[in-house]
Structure 1
Amino acid sequence: MKNDQLVDKQIEAFIQLNEKLMSNAVNYTNLIMVAGYAGFFAFWSTLVDKIPAWLFFACGLLITLSLTFFISWELIKMFWSASHIRKTQAILAQSRRQNIVTEYENAIQKFNAEAQRVWMLFLIPSVLTGILAAVMLVGYFFNQLVCTVRVCH
């Protein structure tokens, strides 16, 4: 019985560690994405007279879609988190019962698991459209470099 309790404590510690690691990963991803958007928009805005109009607008559309996915997720997460906090507060406000801690922990784990799944539905299109915009610009610049070296017209 002691071994079962020890294993349960270790599993609980691993679950808590995993939740912290996931939270840190999400925060880091958000930081990278925000820095990427700022850099892309700063650079892209200087190109209006330097690249073909179709490329300027295509890249603008793609990066704006990417940013829209990202902001949409952050807004959904904000409201969803507030709702979750109200639910967990209600659990904690109940009369003292033996299983209240378990209920609370289960609610937190369920929320984190659901949030991770939904987050991927926004992250993937956000990253793909952002990368496509960057690839289009890099491709254009690479083509122009090759033409300059070969003296293309």
Structure 2
Amino acid sequence: MTMSDWPNVDFQNPKSVAAFEKFAEQRQSMMLEINAASYERRAAYTNLIVLAGYAGAFSLWAFVREDITTQGNAAIAICLSVSLMLFVGFEIFKMSRMALWSVKVGKAFRSDMTALEVMGAVKELRLSQQRESLSRLTKIWLVMLVLTLLSASGAVALLFYNMFAQLLGWTPWP
């Protein structure tokens, strides 16, 4: 059955309905796998960019820290620390979720299972994990990303202001 067959499904015929339901289930499973893989790639790419941002912020701060007031350095340290704690905390949360999932996979297997039953159990667990990732984990990831970027952006804004203050003769802040 293909997408073009949908309008022609005879919903009065149990075999046609069963074939349609199987096709729809396979299609849903495929879409879940595509979306989960897409989420994982986005998260990995975002982590790379965030880590590069931290490297840049800490390098910039090391370069100008002596010319910034004590309060300015404290504010920058707080912003960067909050951002790092959020970032690392979420990565630890994700890691613990993966470890729990691995434990579930281990518990799902019984010694009397056939290879086909094992494959079915793994597929069901994977679909369950993908549904959770796409619903709850994606929302949490987005919130943590925004909070992480906001606090890091606060530190970078303070760094830039204080660098421009030095160049233009403004009063350093804070």
Q: TM-score, normalization: structure 2?
A: 0.72
Give the match for residue 44 of structure 2. 27
Contact 1:88 1:107 in 2 (8 A): no
> Structure 1 residue 130: deviation in Å?
0.4
Q: Count residues in correspondence.
A: 148
> Structure 1 residue 97: deviation in Å?
8.0
Aligned 1:140-151 pairs, distance under 5 A: 140-145=162-167, 147=168
- 1:48-69 C-alpha deviation (Å, 9 max, x unpaired): 2222222222112101110111
Cα distance in 2 for partners of 1:86, 1:122 equals 26
Could you say if the C-alpha distance between residues 102 and 74 of structure 1 is closer, same or farther in structure 2, counting changes exceeding 3 Å?
Answer: closer
> Structure 1 residue 111: deviation in Å?
3.6
Q: Which has the larger radius of gyration?
A: 2
Aligned 1:1-80 pairs, distance under 5 A: 1=16, 2-80=19-97
User: Where do 5+ consecutive residues of structure 2 fail to align?
Assistant: 1-15
Cα distance in 1 for partners of 2:20, 2:92 equals 44
Cα distance in 2 for partners of 1:144, 1:39 equals 20
Matched residue SS, 2:66: coil
1:129 aligns with 2:151: yes
Q: 1:100 aligns with which of 108, 121, 133?
A: 121
Contact 1:88 1:104 in 2 (8 A): yes
Cα distance in 1 for partners of 2:128, 2:25 equals 18
> Structure 1 residue 30: deviation in Å?
0.7
Cα distance in 2 for partners of 1:127, 1:102 equals 36
Query: Identical aligned pairs, as a percentage?
Result: 23
> Structure 1 residue 121: deviation in Å?
4.0
Give the match for residue 137 of structure 2. 115
